[in-house]
Chains A and B, each alone.
Chain A
Amino acid sequence: MDIRIRKLSKRYGSVNALNAIDLDIASGELLALLGPSGSGKTTLLRAIAGLEPIDGGRILFGDIDATELSVQERRVGFVFQHYALFKHMSVLDNITFGLRVRKRKFRPAREEIRRRGEELLKLVQLGGLEARYPNQLSGGQRQRVALARALAIEPRVLLLDEPFGALDAKVRKDLRVWLRQLHDDTGYTTIFVTHDQEEALELADRVVVLNAGSIEQVDVPEAIVRRPATRFVAEFIGQGVVDGADRSPRSVLARVSPCVRTG
Chain B
Amino acid sequence: MHGAVCVNARAYRSVTTESTFVRRLLIGFAGAFLIVFLLLPLIVVFAQAFARGIGAYLAALTDADSIAAIVLTLKVAAIAVLLNTAFGVAAAWVVAKFEFRGKNVLISLIDLPFSVSPVISGMVFVLIFGAQTWLGGWLIDHGVRIVFAQTGLILATVFVTFPFVARELIPLMQAQGSDEEYAALSLGASGWQTFWHVTLPNIRWGLLYGILLCNARAMGEFGAVSVVSGKIRGASNTLPLHVEALYEDNMMVAAFAVASLLALLSLLTLAMKAFLEWRHGDEIAALQGGR
Contact = CB atoms under 8 A, between A and B. Distances in A.
Given A86-B198, A87-B202, A88-B201, A101 B190 contact: yes
Contacts of A150: 186-187
Interface string B171-199: 00000000110111111111001000110
A101 B189 contact: yes
A97 B186 contact: no
Interface string B196-218: 01100110000000000000000
Give chain A's interface secondary structure class: loop
Give chain B's interface secondary structure class: helix
Interface of A: 49-51, 71-72, 74-78, 80, 82, 84-88, 97-98, 101-102, 149-150, 152-153
B179 A80 contact: yes
Nearest to A155: B186
Interface of B: 179-180, 182-190, 193, 197-198, 201-202
Contacts of B198: 86
A23 to B, nearest CB: 20
A72 B182 CA distance: 10
A221 to B, nearest CB: 29
B188 A78 contact: no
B179 A97 contact: no
A72 B179 contact: no
Q: Shortest 10 CB-CB distances between A and B: which pairs?
A: A98-B187, A84-B179, A101-B189, A84-B183, A78-B186, A88-B201, A71-B185, A72-B188, A84-B180, A101-B193
Contacts of A78: 182-183, 186
23 contacts: A49-B186, A50-B186, A51-B185, A71-B182, A72-B188, A72-B189, A76-B186, A78-B182, A84-B179, A84-B180, A84-B182, A86-B180, A86-B197, A87-B202, A97-B187, A98-B188, A98-B189, A101-B184, A101-B189, A101-B190, A101-B193, A150-B186, A153-B188
A161 to B, nearest CB: 10
Contacts, number: 62
B189 to A, nearest CB: 4
Contact of A88 (B183, B184, B189, B202): B202
Given A86-B198, A87-B202, A88-B202, A101 B187 contact: yes
A53 B180 CA distance: 18
Contacts of A87: 180, 202
Contacts of B185: 51, 71-72
Given A86-B198, A88-B202, A101-B193, A51 B187 contact: no
A152 B184 CA distance: 13
Nearest to A87: B202
B187 A149 contact: yes
A38 B179 CA distance: 19
Contacts of B183: 78, 80, 84-86, 149
Given A87-B202, A88-B201, A101-B193, A82 B188 contact: no
A101 B190 CA distance: 8
A102 B197 CA distance: 13
Contacts of B182: 51, 71, 78, 80, 84
